[in-house]
Amino acid sequence: MPRARAPAPAEAGGERPRRLRSSPAIRGLVAETDVRPSRLVMPLFVASHPSAAPPGLPALGRRTAEATAVEAGRLAKAGVRNVLLFGIPDRKSPDGRAAWDPKGPVPSAIRAIKASHPDVGVLADVCLCEYTDHGHCGVVVDGTVDNDRTLPLLARTAVTYAGAGADLVAPSAMMDHQVAAIREGLDEAGRTGVGIVAYAAKYASSFYGPFRDAAGSAPSFGDRRTYQMDPRNRREALRELRLDAAEGADVLLVKPALPCLDIIAEARATFDLPIAAYQVSGEYAMLRAAADAGRLREADAVAETLGAIRRAGADFVVSYFAGSYVPGPDGGP
């Protein structure tokens, strides 16, 4: 049987895309997307009493403020120069008042990091779920999270973190007008230089479970669907993003990341602000479990998923893989 003849260059329009895939050097030269450590943010859990990470999830352990500063220094040496802090208090209360305690876990960690590693960028999550005894993200009145009673508490928490030295505060409670309340609070406190990373499009996702275990923040009743977004909605996400941008957000964040690549892409196309995405604990656990079972190679999967998030339009990614991510010749571990 005669061998099929390859089309002549003229017949194929001279198109041979494989020419630019011939080696790691050439692929790196023309790569459209990179995932450098400087584009990653590592979440860290701070508590007065450290605890080991759950089996198979090494990034979800709790550290003291001092140990958090040591870890931030290690990350910075590897090129991951920014961390996102979550606090677990010794005592919880109905209003989550430990969140704005200047001696609490997050302010203590911020001061420790800035004292030993002043060039590390510190983002501080602003929410009450880790601090309330009911596990919801705001004040509960008659069984319902009261939006407007929660706003001044979020603002007070943000001002406390800013006073400790945080570079950016990241409100994640999904209360209406939380960005405006925090911006007003920061400005009145003279903290006009502290930026806001708004969890603008945060869905009520099934991928948050490992985080809630690590942070001890699972709600004791009901769920968070009255304030976190319905995963079926796209237009609503754009509305939330637009509102937070109008209220003074400096960065707009989409959470979770992989199930929301379309939202990240639309945010990038719509807004001039930096766009961030959070590769959440369930995404981390899913990839880790598959790798531990021998179903995939973790390094390749991490590079591919982080690359997809960046390709969709995220300027930076919060990821539990940040602590172990070292770019290789093709832009991955």
Q: Report helix, strand and coil shares of the chain as percent, to nearest 5.
A: 40, 15, 40
202 part of the active site: yes
Q: What interhelical angle do 65-77 and 105-116 show, nearest 10?
A: 40
Count each helix (H run) and each strand (E run) in the chain, helices first.
Answer: 10, 11
Of the candidates 64, 113, 105, the residue with the CA atom closest to the CA atom of residue 86 = 105
Distance of alpha carbon 51 from the chain centroid: 22
- DSSP 8-state symbol, 271: -
Q: How far apart are CA 244 and CA 232, in angstroms?
A: 20
Instruction: Tell me phi and psi for residue 314, to 5 degrees.
Output: -75, 130
**Catalytic member of 92, 103, 114, 202:** 202
Rounded to a whole number, what is the distance in angstroms from the first to the last CA of the chain? 46
114 part of the active site: no
Q: How far apart are CA 278 and CA 321, in angstroms?
A: 11
In this structure, how many other beta carbons lie within 10 angstroms of the beta carbon of residue 253?
Answer: 28
Question: Which positions are catalytic?
Answer: 202, 255
